[in-house]
Every structure is written in structure tokens, then in C-alpha cells.
Structure 1
């Protein structure tokens, strides 16, 4: 199948729908209210602890601008948070292209929305394996799957989507959106994509290095077989 070669995009993208699923919740208390002040029309989709955190920040306003991902997709989160954002509607919203008529028809057919920004960071794998006596199973349980997929999809589609992995970038994003009347620029989206792919690459390298240092005996002793 031939890959699409995109020739037309928007430099400024109006941020309307945001997907938030973070393990590092630093800065949200300040970021979320300022974000909505700049662009009051924003709607947020979120999961698990991130949803609860944002709901507490927004208070009564949460009823008008916040929704659980599970309500949007129609699929409950898998026990233990194993599957939360890995859903067709989510990835249509992340990967579709603005000027592709077939993509827009898919959004309409499924009732999906175009997601304009992803704020995500990953399970603390490095911190987990730094603990004395950590087992292979404890490490395995902290390998994030949905997070890297979500981040990579958003970063790949920097032509339309902003992929945010670092709370230290919140002020830069707010400044860019304020300058552009609630929209985010191609320049910043591209910079955020660069950072996102570096973030997931380092994460995967850390996992690979840890597993390379383990033996099958280390794995076997974690389980009854």
C-alpha cells in the first residue's frame, strides 16, 4: 500500500480536543486552568488517575470540558490500567490528516474527533529498576505500552497534533497558544515531536538494557510454572 505524501497542512492548529494520560502530574494544577483561559473551547479526554487529578483541578467546570476516555470509546479500562488508550477511535483522532477526505469520512463514520494535542509521559520504568532487589516481574509490570504508542502517533502527525511529554514545556505551549489566539504553531509542534521521539527512544533503550542484563533464571524465579 502506498503511503500518503501530504502536501497541504495548517501552520496554526486550533487546539480543541486534548488527550491527557500522564504518570508525572507535576504542573497540571497551573497548566490546566491557564490553558482553558487561553482557549475556553477546549475539551479534555483523560484516563484513570489523570482524569481524577484534572477533575479535582476543574471542580464544577469538569462537567462541561472533561470526559473519561472509556466513556468516549465505549470500552472500560482493563483491570490494572493495562488497556486504556489503545482504541481505534483514539488513533483515528491522532493520525488522520486534515485535508484527506477519506480520513475525514472515517472520523464522521465512527463519531471520532480530531485530537489536537496529546499530553503523555510514561510509567516510571527507570525508577522501578533502580530499586534494590527489583525483580524481572516488577520491571515487566512497569513497561508502558499505550503511552509510547500514543506519544509516537501524535509525534508522527506533528503536521496537525502537538505531542507533549515534558511538564517543563507547559509554559512554552501556553505562550505559543496565547500568541496565536488559542492555536499552536507548526514550529512548536515539530520541536515537540523531536523531543517526543527522543523520549520514547530513551525509554525503549532503558528497557532493552535492563532485559539484556537478566537471565532466564532471573525471570523463571518470579513465577510458578
Structure 2
């Protein structure tokens, strides 16, 4: 599958601008959210705001921005299923071929002295894990990157071949599920500690 469109939405901005630049140079359209979009745009790289894709603004202090059929349909569509392709066309959904997401910094938040329960709760990511899991589930067609250390190698594959090989996509999916599992375990453990108080 040729990578034509990427969604980039990261809390950890390490290397993301250079990654976006390499994808753009390889002819990939970039869609992004909030702070990530701002960083990419300020670097002079063309980027489409996620609200322009969904037709809906980011709402509730950013709690709801990517939970939308134009995003999840674009990620989850099985590209060799004629019915999925027909539904994409019918609903004007464009495929998303690469997803680069890392999650709200819950670990760093709860490590701060005197952090409140409310502050911790606001750093529980919802849309991020949903996109990560959707892309990982559909790894046959979608490349999911949760680790910035992977950016260079993936950008190199896209520049050279226009796509990412099958085994790498499966490896990245496995990493993605490990990432969300560890994240949920951390939240579970934190709430268990709060219940002891």
C-alpha cells in the first residue's frame, strides 16, 4: 500500500518536525491536531488541520477532536474489501495510511509533586489510544508509529519504496498494542493507589 496520507498527533514532539518534512518530501499529505500541527506549520511544512477533515471543531478542551468517522473510517477501512471501499466513496472518507501518535504524558503528570486527581484525569488520553489501536488492528494497510525512535527508518522506507514493508507494519502494530497496554496499566495502578487513600 502506497502511503499517501499520514495523521500525526503527538505529545512527545521529539523528531516530529523532521519526520513530517521527510514525509512531505516523499509526497505524503499530512493531517494533524493542535500543538503538533502548530509545530509542523511553523516549520513551513504543509499540513491539514484535523478539524478541516472532520468538519467539526476540537471541543471540550481538546477531549474530543479525532473521535470521528472521517478519522476512524480512514484508518480502519479494509482497502481490499469492495464494500469498505464503496462506503468510503459514499461518505467521502479518505484513507489514512500512516498514523504517528504518542499519548498524553500521564506518567510524567503523576510524577509531579502534589499533583491532583483532577490533573491526572485530564492527562488520560482517549482519542490517542483509539487511533493507535485502530491503526494497529488494520496493520495490513496502515503503518502505526508510537515510538519517535522509529521515525527515521520509516521515513527512509517511504522515501525509497513509497510504502512500509509487511513485517515492519506488523512489528509496529505489536509495539503499539504494548504501548497502549502499558499506558492503561499505569492508569489502573494509579487509580488503585488513590482508592487506598
TM-score (norm 2): 0.96
Aligned partner of 2:185 among 205, 208, 212: 205
- Residue 21 (str. 1) matches residue 9 (str. 2): yes
- Runs of 4+ in structure 1 displaced over 4 angstroms? none
Find the aligned partners of 1:28 and 1:93 in 2 and give their Cα distance.
Answer: 22
8 Å contact kept, 2:22–2:159: no
Q: Unpaired segments of 5 or more residues in structure 1?
A: 1-12, 219-225
Equivalent residue runs for 1:1-225 within 5 Å: 13-37=1-25, 39-40=26-27, 42-57=28-43, 59=44, 62=46, 66-180=47-161, 182-215=162-195
8 Å contact kept, 2:10–2:36: yes
Determine helix, strand or coil for the equivalent of 2:179: helix
**How far did residue 36 of structure 1 move?**
2.3
Give per-residue Cα distances to partners, 1:158-181, cap 9 Å, x unaligned.
Answer: 00000110110011102322342x
RMSD: 1.3
**How far did residue 83 of structure 1 move?**
0.5
Determine helix, strand or coil for the equivalent of 2:177: helix
8 Å contact kept, 2:98–2:143: yes
Q: Unpaired segments of 5 or more residues in structure 2?
A: none
Find the aligned partners of 1:50 and 1:83 in 2 and give their Cα distance.
Answer: 16
**How far did residue 29 of structure 1 move?**
2.7
**How far did residue 99 of structure 1 move?**
1.2
**How far did residue 185 of structure 1 move?**
1.0
**How far did residue 133 of structure 1 move?**
1.3
